[in-house]
A and B are shown apart, each in its own frame.
Chain A
């Protein structure tokens, strides 16, 4: 089956009509499209997942500091609290948030990561998937397969709207990552194709309008903590959808709305480091301190 990846509805219908998971349909289609075997395509995704896992581990190093001095060590701090049972919102959430921090801090320190969908939003998907894998002791194969569902949602967003902060603000980066993670989680917990669509819609609605305003233009402040928010948002969206709560606005309309909001955003709020947090007195002072 040839997929166009220009709507979430297409993915839902393909899954319903073939009685297969979205991830399986996407794997089959992508293997055909790339003229490779399904095994080879799966193996490439598995390698990416292994890099994600390694980046979670490496980012937990407590002495990690970025070249600018703006970030590092936050993931380790939170992980310690979680490991000692001192965090307040449950083991899974604490763990997931610390993992999102870990991957994004490691990225800031020139570590090896998987852009998912971008480097600036690289923490959300690994944190969502690896934290549930550990919490529920899930088979790795299920988690790797869910990345095909996440990718398909990302492809639709990239085609219809954007996954670049410079074009659509942070809603296009962390927002998209969050929607992709929500879709993957919903599939992992046996949600229906419609539930996957709803979780994607809800995650994107919750981040709509989020601007890209990095201090000193670096992928650190506020990007790292926004990745932590992105995973919490993915849990929220997936939890709602899995309970059978619908998104009032369908996913495809949300994606178009996100594109329009991005177009309406001032250039100062699209990765130019001229607005938002970058333009605060502290943001300006830090920029001066780093770059003179």
Chain B
């Protein structure tokens, strides 16, 4: 915690959990898709489902999908902007089993037909946790510099990626790997103590069997 966690963040109101946090979940989903969005299906759960209109959670989450930051006044008009861009948006409310009260499940489809579903919770003060990607359990917050590598589960990928992280002089403070099944989709999450030289990202992306790599730092 530092002074800017207390006097800050600069954000679009009215609620750090229902607006700032929601926009971050949307932005993370868009980054994980890694391609221009054609369609966004958003399912609100719990308090999000009950109050999303009054809190502007819908505008915030779409703003996030447009990669707007929580302080960007463009959040207010994000739904109109998305429509102008030809993005189809569907809002639904429902129940997600065992989910935090402020949760959303976002399914994004790219212009080329690629899809990804991302479940996230806004846990207070604008902080979020991403708990599922494509039905696979994950756990990352983006509070620290986080490298997320989506890849096929084949031997040697972890060594290859961590080798490049070491070459980038970053210290890993948390490592997690989730996979659908042996040989299936796997998601590697590496949290680091310091910033990571983004020039290494293209090298990680070029590793065979790596589908997508993103560097997340949500503040």
A interface with B by C-beta (< 8 Å): 5, 26, 30, 33-34, 41, 44-45, 47-48, 51, 66-68, 106-120, 122, 125, 147-148, 150-152, 154-155, 158-159, 163-164, 166, 180, 216-220, 290-291
Contact = CB atoms under 8 A, between A and B. Distances in A.
Given A154-B7, A219-B14, 5 more contacts: A114-B11, A115-B126, A116-B6, A151-B7, A163-B125
Contacts of B1: 5, 155, 158-159
A152 B6 CA distance: 8
B174 interface: no
A220 to B, nearest CB: 7
A273 to B, nearest CB: 8
A82 to B, nearest CB: 24
B54 interface: yes
Contact of A155 (B6, B51, B53): B6
Contacts of B4: 44-45, 48, 151
A217 B13 contact: no
Interface of B: 1-16, 19-20, 47, 50-51, 53-56, 59, 71, 73, 75-76, 124-126
Contacts, number: 130
A100 to B, nearest CB: 14
Q: Which 4 A-B pairs have the closest CB atoms?
A: A107-B13, A154-B6, A151-B3, A219-B14
Nearest to B55: A218
16 contacts: A26-B3, A45-B3, A48-B4, A68-B54, A108-B13, A110-B56, A114-B11, A115-B16, A116-B7, A117-B7, A118-B16, A119-B13, A119-B15, A120-B15, A163-B125, A217-B50
Contacts of A110: 12-14, 19, 56, 59, 75-76
B59 to A, nearest CB: 7
B8 A164 contact: no
A138 to B, nearest CB: 18
A47 B3 CA distance: 13
A204 to B, nearest CB: 15
Contact of B13 (A106, A116, A147, A291): A106
Contacts of B13: 106-113, 119, 122, 219
A242 to B, nearest CB: 22
B20 A119 contact: yes
A216 B51 contact: yes
Nearest to A30: B3
B54 A291 contact: yes
A177 B125 CA distance: 14
Given A118-B16, A291-B50, A155 B3 contact: yes
Nearest to A125: B7
B218 to A, nearest CB: 15
A112 B3 contact: no
A221 B14 CA distance: 12
A151 B6 contact: yes
